[in-house]
Structure 1
C-alpha cells in the first residue's frame, strides 16, 4: 500500500516497486549502464583497428567484442532506454495512474536486468558469443566452436536474448492494454501526444517482430543445447535463419527509431513554440511505416539465391517505405522554419538527430538498390549507414533524457554543460562514423584492411574516444544536477503542453490529484466525489470541484474514496532471479546432452565427432532454478495485489473487453507468430528439399489421432468449468477442472509413449532435420500443454482453499482462451506431421 511504501532512498523500494515511474527510472539507469558496457567493447576493437592486423585482442576476442557490442547496444541499451521513458511518461501523458498490470511491468524489468547479467556471465563461461550480432547460420551453432565447453558462453548469450524477449513480450502486452483502455476521458487516439503515438506503434511492431525473434532463438537454443539440426545442415539452413531473423530485424530498426522520432516531435513542438506541421499526416505516415516494416525484410538478402523478380519487388517496397519518412522529415523542418526556435540542449540534440538521420537515410537508399547492394553489402558502407540511422536515434534519446530530466529528477541541469556535451558528441559522432563511408571497401567484422584505409580507421578510432568522452560530460552534468542543481518548476519549458508538465516535478506516487479529464477540450482534474454528490442533489459540480491546471494554478487536493492501489511486490524480482538461475543452468547442459547421445546412438556420435560428459554442477543449477521459479510463481499467484481499472476512460476500440482479457488476446497474438514461425520453418525446409521426398516422421498416425480427440474433449471440459463457475457450483468447477487436468496428462502420457516408441526405432531428435523439426515443434506444443496443466492445478488449489472463481468467473474464461489456443495449434500440427 502507498501508506507504508518505502521511500526512494530505501534499497527495499527498488526491489519491490511496481510503480510505473520507479520502473521507468530502473530501466533508464540500467540501460545507461549497458551503454557504458557496449561502449567499452567498441573502444576495445577500435583500438585493435588502429593498425591492420592483430594487436591487443585475439581473433576470438575481437569477434566477441564486435558481436557483443552490437547485441548489447541494440537489445540492452536502445530499446530499454526508450522503454524507460515510456514507462515513466506514457501513463502521465494519457492520464493513467499506472500501467494496466503493475506487477507484470516490474517482472518485465527484472527479466531485462537478469538477461543482461546473464550476458555478463557468458564472458566467464569459456567466451561469449562471437558469431556477429545478426547470428548468421551456420556460424551460430556449436560445430563452429572449437569445443563443446567453449560454446557454453555463446549459449548463455542466446538464452539471455530469449529472456530479454520474454521481458519485451510482457511489456508490449502491458502497454497495449494500457494505451487502448486507460486513456483519460476525452482523449481519443488522434488526440494522444506524439511520443505516446510513436510508442503505441513501436509496441505493436514489437508484439509481432520480437515473437519472430523468439522463435528463431528457441530454434537456435535447441541446436546449441539439444544438438538438433535446424541450422547445422546444408539444406537451406542459412536461408531459413535469414528469413526469420530479418522478419524481426528490419522492423527492429523502426522499433528503435520510433521512440526517438516521438521525442523529436515533442521537443520540436516545445522549442519552436508551435504545433507540429501536418500532425495528422505525420501520424498516418508512422502507421504506414509500421505496417510496411514487415514487408521489406528481404532487402537484407539480396546476395542470396532468391530470384531476381522477388528481389526487385523488395527493392520497390524498400523505396516505398522511405516516402513516409520524407513526409516526417519535412514536417519537422517546416515546424522549425515557422516557429521561434530556442536552442536549448534538448533541441540541439533533436536537431542533430534530424541531420544525422537524413544522411543515414540517403546512404541507405544506395543499399536499397539490388545492383549497388551487391557492391556495398558486407562492407563498412553498411556499418556507417547503420550507425548514422541507429545512433541518430540515440542522439534523440539523449535529447529526451535532457528534456524530461527536470520532471524525473525534480532538478535543473547546467545548460552550458549540456551544450558542451552536444558539441563534443556531434564532433565525435561524425569523426567516428563518416570516415567509414570513405573506408567502405573494408570488409565488416575483420581486423585486416588495406594500407590505404589506415588513416580513415585511425580517424574513426579518435572519434570513438571523443564520442565516449562526451558521455562522461553527460554523466557529470546530470550528477551535478542531482547533487546541487536548482529545483525544477512543474513546467520549465514555456511551450510544453503534454499532461506530465501539469503536475509537480517529480510527480507524486499516485500521479494525479483527481481524475484527469479532457471532456471540455483541455486538461482538468475532476473530483468525482463532488460530482457524484452534486448529481445526487440534482445539481452540477461547482467550479471549485473541477480545477484546470496550467501556469499559476494550484492542483486539487481532495481525498478520493476510490480503491487504493498497491505498489509493492517482491515476487517479480524472485521470478526473474529464478529464471536467471534456470537459464544459467541449461546453458551448460550441451556436454550432458552429448553424453546422452553417445549412449543412445554411439555410431552417430562417433561419426559426428560428439563426445561429452555429464555436467553435474550445471544440472544442479538447473534444478535449483526450477525450484526457485516454482516457489516464486506460486507465491506470485497467491499474493493479494490491487491494481484497479480506471472507472471512466476512453477505451476505443476495446470498450467491452476487460484489461486482463485484452492482455490475454495480445499475448496469444504474439504466440501465433511464434508457432507460425515454427510451422513456417517446417514448410520452408520441406519445400526446399522437395515436398514429396520429405518423410512422414511418426511411424504411425494413431497416437496423434487419439491425442487430437483427447485435446478437443479437454476444450469441452474447460467450457463446462466456466459454466460451473458462473453458476457458483464449486463441486462442478472442481470436477471439470480436474477432468481437464486428467485429459492433459493423458495427452502428455501418450506423447511420451509415442516418443519412446520412436526412440526404440532409432528415430532421434538429433540425427537429421526431418526428425529435429518433428520433435522440436511438437515439443514446443507439449511445453504449452504443460504450462496449462500447471495453471489448471493452481486454479484447483485456489478453488479448494479460498473458493476462488465462484464470485468472479473471469479467470476461468481467460484460462480457457489459452487452453483453446493450445488445442487449435495441435489441430494444425497433427495433419502437418502425421498425415502429409
Structure 2
C-alpha cells in the first residue's frame, strides 16, 4: 500500500491512518434512548455523537447571534461618527460580539466535532464519563441563555471582550447585565473544565489496542493538545472571573486598586489564558485541515511526526508568550525583550506545519471538493494572519500598531481563518453525522462567497489600520475602506445563509451517504456506517496487527458470542463493575436538570450588589432565583450520584500509556486537581502580586493573630489522617471503621469552618470585611475559596457516610480513596495559605 494512494473503500483502517478502512455494523439498539425524532431523545441523551450534534447546532446559533452584532457594528462604521447605534449600544455590540464568537461559537463548534469524531477515531464506544459530557453541554447552553438575558438587565457588558480593568468594575459598567455577562462566562468556564477532565481521561485511557499516542490520527492529536491547554488556561481565566465577580457582587477591591497594580493584574491573568486561547481555537481547525489534506490529496501528511512535534512545541510555548499583549504597560524592557523572543520563536513550529501541508499538496493528487476548498482557504488565510502577527511581536512595531485596526485584521485572519477550517470540517463530517450528502454545487457557491466576503471584510482593515479599535469615529479619508469592509461583511453573511440552507435541505432531501464517501479517507470513523451505530463498533476495535479489526466478545457462558455493541463487561461510571449482560447506559435527565438549576442560581447571583440584593420585588426575584436554583442544582447532583448508570467499558488490552495503572475515576480526579492547582495558584499569585505592588513591608496583615490559623492547620492535618484510617478500614472490610473515620473527618471539617467563622466574625467587628481595603479583600476571598472547597468536601463526606452505613465500600474502597485525594489536596492548599496570610 503506497502513501500516495491509501484507499479506504474496502478492508481495514491502519493504526496511523494510511491503510484502508472497511464498513461497520449498521445494527443499532436504543438501550433506553428515545428515537432521534423525539425531542426527549435530545434532552436525556448522554451519547457522545448526540452531544456532538447538540454542540454543533447550538454553536451555529451563536454564530448567527454574534454575526448579527457584527453587522450592526459594520453599519455603524459605514461613515465616521455615525449614530446608527447609541454609543453605549455600540460598546455592548463590540463587547458581546467578541465574547460570543471566541467563547460561545469557536471552541464549542470545534468540540462538537471532537465529541462526535474522537471516540470513533480512537476506538472507544463513548467518552469515559457520558453524563459529565452531557452536563458540559447543558452548562454551556445555560451560560449562553444567561448571556442573552444580560441584554434585558439594563444593558449587557460594555467594557470590551478583553474586559480590561478598571473598565470591568461597576464604576464604569454598572448595569446588572454587565455582571450577568461575566457570570455567564464563569459558568461557561465550568462547562469547559468538566469537558476537559472527560476528554483527557478518555484519550489517555480508552484507546483501542495497538493505537499508541504516536499513531493517533492528527485530528485527535490536535484535540488532545487543545484539551491540555484548556485545562490550565481556563483555570487561570476561572480565577480571574471569580475575582472579578467578587469585585462586582461582593465589593472586593482587586481591580479597583489601580495603585496596587489591579489593572496590570487583570492583564496578566487574562492574557495568561488569552494567548493559549488562540491555539485552543485554532488547533482543532488545524487537525481537521490535516485530515482533509490527507483525504483530498490521497497522500499521508509529509513529515507527520514532525507535524505532531511542532504542535506539541506550540502547545508548550503558548504559556510563555502572554506578555507580548502587554508591551504598552510599564513592564521593564528586559522582560519585554524576552517575551518578544518567545513570540518570534513560537512562529517557527507553525512554519513547519504550513510547509508540511504545502508539500502534502505537491506530492498528492488534489481533489477540489468543498471540504478541501475550505481547508486550503484556511491555510491561505492563516499564512496572512501569521505574517501580519509577526509585526505585533516586535516591540517597536507593536507600539505603533497596538490599539489599531491592524490588530483587528490580524486577529480575524487567524481566528476566522480557523473558522474556515472548521466549516470545511462540517462539510467533511456532515455525511458521517447525518447519513446524507450535502449539495456539492451549493457547497462551492458557499466557498466562493465566503472567501470573497472574508477578504473584502478584513483585508481593507490592514489598509485602514489607523482606525482606533472599539471606536466608531475615524478619519474621513478612511471611509471608502470601511464601506468596502461593510459590503464584505454582508457577502460573508450571505455565504453562511447558503451553508445553512444547504445543510437543512440536504438533511431532508439529500442523497443517502455511503459509509465512506471519500475515496482516500484514512481514519476509523469511516469504517462504520453513516451515521454510526449507537455504540460505534460491532465488537472490540483492535489495531493489534497494524490495521483496524473487531474482536468479537465472548458470551456469558464463555463461548464465542454474537457481536455485541457493549463489548462484554461494562464498568459503571463510578468504578463499580456491572454484570456481563448489561449494556452501557445512554440516557439520564439529571445533567439537563443541573444545567437548569445552574442557570437560575447564576441569574440570582447577578442581582447582588455589594453582597446585598436590591429592595422590593426586584430583590425578591433575584433572591428566589438563587434559592430555587441552588436547591434544584444540589438535588439534581445528588440524584445523579444515586442514579444507576453504566458507562463504557475500558478494554483491558487497550492502550493507556502513560496512565496504564490508573483507573478512569482516579485519573479524572488527578486531572481535576491539576486544574485546581492553577486556580489556587492564580489566587495566591494575585495576592503576592498585589502585595509586592503595594510594598511587602508596608502591607498590614489582617490576620494579625496566627493562633486561629495554626489551630486550623492541626485540625485539617488530623482530618486527612482520619480519611486514611477510613480507607484502611474499608480495605479490611470494617464497616464501622469506615463510618467512624469519615465521621471524624466530617466533625473536624466542621470544626475548621467554625473556627474560621469565629475568626471572620472577630475581624468583622474590628472593621475588616471584603470591601474594607485591598488587604481585607485578598484575605477574605482567598481563604473563602478554600472554605468553599472544605464545604464541598463535607457534602461529599455526608454522602459517603450515608452509603457506608449501608455497607458500601467494603468490596470496593476506591470511592473513599478518590475522596481522599481531594481532601488531601484541600489540606495541602491550607499549608500554603497559613504562612502567607498569618506569618509572612
SS at structure 2 position matched to 1:516? strand
Say if 1:2 and 1:566, in contact at 8 Å, map to a contact too.
Answer: no
Q: Are residues 1:212 and 2:236 paired?
A: yes
Residue matched to 1:43: 71
Structure 1 Cα separation of the partners of residues 566 and 309 of structure 2: 41
Structure 2 Cα separation of the partners of residues 376 and 287 of structure 1: 30
**CA pair 559-384 structure 1, distance change in 2 beyond 3 A:** closer
Say if 2:32 and 2:586, in contact at 8 Å, map to a contact too.
Answer: no
Root mean square deviation, CA, Å: 1.7
Structure 1 Cα separation of the partners of residues 770 and 568 of structure 2: 60
Residue matched to 2:649: 645
SS at structure 2 position matched to 1:593? coil
Say if 1:592 and 1:614, in contact at 8 Å, map to a contact too.
Answer: no
Aligned-pair CA distance for 1:644: 3.7
Residue matched to 1:318: 343
Structure 1 Cα separation of the partners of residues 30 and 646 of structure 2: 11
Residue matched to 2:395: 370
Say if 2:77 and 2:482, in contact at 8 Å, map to a contact too.
Answer: yes
Say if 2:31 and 2:586, in contact at 8 Å, map to a contact too.
Answer: no
Residue matched to 1:565: 584
Task: Note the alpha carbon deviations across 1:512-545, whole angstroms, 9 max, x for none.
Answer: 00111000100111113289968xxxxxx9xxx9
Structure 1 Cα separation of the partners of residues 183 and 121 of structure 2: 35
Residue matched to 1:769: 774
Aligned 1:138-537 pairs, distance under 5 A: 138-145=166-173, 150-234=174-258, 235-529=260-554
Structure 1 Cα separation of the partners of residues 499 and 214 of structure 2: 35
Structure 2 Cα separation of the partners of residues 716 and 701 of structure 1: 23
**CA pair 138-532 structure 1, distance change in 2 beyond 3 A:** same
Structure 1 Cα separation of the partners of residues 613 and 541 of structure 2: 60
Residue matched to 1:608: none
Aligned-pair CA distance for 1:699: 3.0
Say if 2:125 and 2:648, in contact at 8 Å, map to a contact too.
Answer: no
Residue matched to 1:105: 133
Structure 1 Cα separation of the partners of residues 712 and 537 of structure 2: 53
Number of aligned positions between the proteins: 798
Say if 1:578 and 1:625, in contact at 8 Å, map to a contact too.
Answer: yes
Residue matched to 2:13: none
Task: Note the alpha carbon deviations across 1:724-746, whole angstroms, 9 max, x for none.
Answer: 11112111111111111110000
Residue matched to 1:730: 735
Structure 1 Cα separation of the partners of residues 651 and 630 of structure 2: 39
Say if 1:346 and 1:399, in contact at 8 Å, map to a contact too.
Answer: yes
SS at structure 2 position matched to 1:142? coil
Structure 1 Cα separation of the partners of residues 212 and 172 of structure 2: 54
Residue matched to 1:21: 49
SS at structure 1 position matched to 2:302? coil
Structure 2 Cα separation of the partners of residues 594 and 376 of structure 1: 44
Say if 1:592 and 1:613, in contact at 8 Å, map to a contact too.
Answer: no
SS at structure 1 position matched to 2:533? coil
Residue matched to 1:553: none
Aligned 1:533-544 pairs, distance under 5 A: none
Aligned-pair CA distance for 1:721: 0.8
**CA pair 790-559 structure 1, distance change in 2 beyond 3 A:** closer
Aligned-pair CA distance for 1:631: 1.1
TM-score (norm 1): 0.94
Task: Note the alpha carbon deviations across 1:235-276, whole angstroms, 9 max, x for none.
Answer: 211100000100000000000000000011000000000100
**CA pair 497-411 structure 1, distance change in 2 beyond 3 A:** same
Higher relative contact order (CA 8 A, sep 6+): 2
Residue matched to 2:150: 122
**CA pair 422-532 structure 1, distance change in 2 beyond 3 A:** farther
TM-score (norm 2): 0.93
Task: Note the alpha carbon deviations across 1:73-113, whole angstroms, 9 max, x for none.
Answer: 00000000111100000000000000000000000000000
Structure 2 Cα separation of the partners of residues 523 and 215 of structure 1: 44
Q: Are residues 1:624 and 2:628 paired?
A: yes
Aligned-pair CA distance for 1:561: 4.2
Aligned-pair CA distance for 1:170: 0.7
- Contiguous gaps of at least 5 residues in structure 2: 1-28, 571-582
From the two aligned structures, give the one with the greater helix fraction: 1
Of 92, 95, 108, which residue of structure 1 is paired with 2:120? 92
Of 25, 34, 42, which residue of structure 1 is paired with 2:62? 34
Aligned-pair CA distance for 1:359: 0.2
Aligned-pair CA distance for 1:473: 0.2
Aligned-pair CA distance for 1:562: 3.6
Aligned-pair CA distance for 1:480: 1.4
Say if 1:413 and 1:485, in contact at 8 Å, map to a contact too.
Answer: yes
SS at structure 2 position matched to 1:179? helix
Structure 1 Cα separation of the partners of residues 714 and 446 of structure 2: 66
SS at structure 1 position matched to 2:70? helix
Residue matched to 2:165: 137
Of 583, 590, 600, which residue of structure 2 is paired with 1:581? 600
**CA pair 733-531 structure 1, distance change in 2 beyond 3 A:** closer
Aligned-pair CA distance for 1:210: 0.3
Structure 1 Cα separation of the partners of residues 399 and 616 of structure 2: 42
Structure 1 Cα separation of the partners of residues 724 and 154 of structure 2: 51
Structure 2 Cα separation of the partners of residues 313 and 559 of structure 1: 53
SS at structure 2 position matched to 1:356? helix
Aligned-pair CA distance for 1:613: 11
**CA pair 557-817 structure 1, distance change in 2 beyond 3 A:** closer
Aligned 1:570-719 pairs, distance under 5 A: 570-590=589-609, 593=612, 615-648=619-652, 649-719=654-724
Task: Note the alpha carbon deviations across 1:263-321, whole angstroms, 9 max, x for none.
Answer: 11000000000100000000000000000000000000000000001100000000000
Residue matched to 2:17: none
Residue matched to 1:759: 764
Structure 2 Cα separation of the partners of residues 446 and 826 of structure 1: 46
Structure 2 Cα separation of the partners of residues 647 and 315 of structure 1: 47
Say if 1:409 and 1:505, in contact at 8 Å, map to a contact too.
Answer: yes
Of 106, 110, 114, which residue of structure 2 is paired with 1:78? 106
- Contiguous gaps of at least 5 residues in structure 1: 535-540, 547-555, 596-610
Aligned-pair CA distance for 1:594: 8.0
Say if 2:32 and 2:585, in contact at 8 Å, map to a contact too.
Answer: no
Structure 2 Cα separation of the partners of residues 360 and 664 of structure 1: 39
- Greater mean deviation of Cα atoms: 648-657 or 291-300: 648-657
Aligned-pair CA distance for 1:803: 2.1
Q: Which stretches of structure 1, 4 residues or longer, exceed 4 Å deviation after superposition?
A: 530-534, 556-561, 611-614
Aligned-pair CA distance for 1:805: 1.3
Say if 1:591 and 1:615, in contact at 8 Å, map to a contact too.
Answer: no
Aligned-pair CA distance for 1:634: 1.1
Structure 2 Cα separation of the partners of residues 670 and 69 of structure 1: 28
Of 782, 805, 808, which residue of structure 1 is paired with 2:809? 805
**CA pair 222-557 structure 1, distance change in 2 beyond 3 A:** closer
SS at structure 2 position matched to 1:525? strand
